[in-house]
Amino acid sequence: MIDCDYCDEQIDCESKSDQEILTHLAKEHGADLGPIDTKRVNRQWESDLEDELETNTGYSAITLGVSATFLSFFVGVAFALLIGL
């Protein structure tokens, strides 16, 4: 038995990643879920965990964008120094 963190109802399952608790969270507390529970519920119905792990590169779009901006800036400065501006 697992206690729901949102309403203290006891759910008949063995872990917080079981279908029963995720169904309870989605139906009863969908708008109130924290980020971790939201991710667990979304992963259960929208994608397969293996697919999620294969497509996750570990870098967010923001990180890649900021890195590309800084790289472009430094390449531009190096080019300007090279041609003598």
Number of domains in the chain: 2
The answer on 39 and 18 residing in a single domain is yes
Residue 22, in any domain of the structure: yes
* pLDDT tens per residue, range 45-81: 665 444 444 455 567 788 889 999 999 999 999 999 9
Query: CA angle 12-4-37, nearest 5°?
Result: 110
- Give the distance, in angstroms, between the CA of residue 60 and the centroid of all CA atoms in the same chain: 10
Q: What is the pTM of this model?
A: 0.48
Q: 81 vs 39, which has greater pLDDT?
A: 81
pLDDT score for 50: 45
The DSSP H or E segment spanning 71 is helix 61-83
Report the distance separating Cα 14 and Cα 18, nearest Å: 7
Please count the CA atoms within 13 angstroms of the CA of 13 that sit on its side-chain side: 15
Domain holding 24, by residue range, is 1-46
The answer on 64 and 28 residing in a single domain is no
